[in-house]
Amino acid sequence: MQASRGILHKQFRLYSSGPTGAPAILTFMQALPSFKLDGQIALVTGAARGLGRAISLALAEAGADVAMGLRDLKADSGLAAEIAARGRRVLPLQMEMTSLEQITSAVDEAVNHFGRLDILVNNAGVAPDNLAENVVEKDFDYTLAVNLKGTFFASQAAGRVMIKQKYGRIINMSSQAGFAALPTESIYCMTKAGIAHLTKCLAVEWGKYNINVNAVAPTFIYTDGTKPVLSDPDFHADTVERIAALHRIGEPIEVAGAVVFLASQAASLITGHTLLIDGGWTAR
């Protein structure tokens, strides 16, 4: 190893598969881990509010240009202007996650506009609240359509692009609900557990194309979506108690930071993993 201008460098060999399947040896200089995303193109689904908004801004702050997947193209909550103010290119896209046609066209439009797609964040999700014995088919089908079907087909569309590029990062939105049962959230819990396993499946299939697939699994986060339940003092107190280590509700940017990490070169050897961002809830 040698020190150069205060930065530690290490020369090493990376073995990868060449065009004929034979090992190819690439030699290069590796600096300290980089969390920057300069020149990267990211697509975030469900970008307008809550976690999607925070993730989009964090990716832009790290240097990425951002395509925003929106349920309503006319309602971006001012996000496009905030991304542009950071000096990044931005592209709003109509992307209703129950529509396979919109998913496919949004990915195609992003690639046509920016020339490539490096990062996909499958953030869009829904969580109808109901006791298991009262769940109706409409809510069941809608939750699976957005959380599982939408995530899979957005990954498929982006994956096809990334396979050709021989590079990509996909980050899915699971939840602590995929690892711990939450009353009245049986269908939501089921889909988030499914996303964690889908993440492993895609990581194994696409690793040979230099595509990393990971997920994040947040606890309760202060967003417009959680505001109604967290405004109940008893529910809030119980939730804080169950977040066993830190005893506080999370902020959207705390999830966004983990997404930036998984999208960066600092996480280059991490794939098939679901990162719990739960303040210690599941450590109990």
Any idea which residues carry the catalytic annotation?
188
Looking at this protein, which amino acid is placed at residue 72?
D
Question: Three-state SS for 47?
Answer: coil
Looking at this protein, which amino acid is placed at residue 272?
G
Angle CA 212–143–204, to nearest 5: 20
DSSP string, 187-216: HHHHHHHHHHHHHHHHHHHHGGGTEEEEEE
Measured between alpha carbons, how far is 228 from 200 in angstroms, rounded to an integer? 33
* 148, 198 contact by CB (below 8 A): yes
Q: How far is CA 279 from the centre of its chain?
A: 19
* 32, 38 contact by CB (below 8 A): no
Residue with tokens 């930065």: 7
Closest to 105 (Cα-Cα) out of 165, 43, 148: 43
Measured between alpha carbons, how far is 270 from 254 in angstroms, rounded to an integer? 19
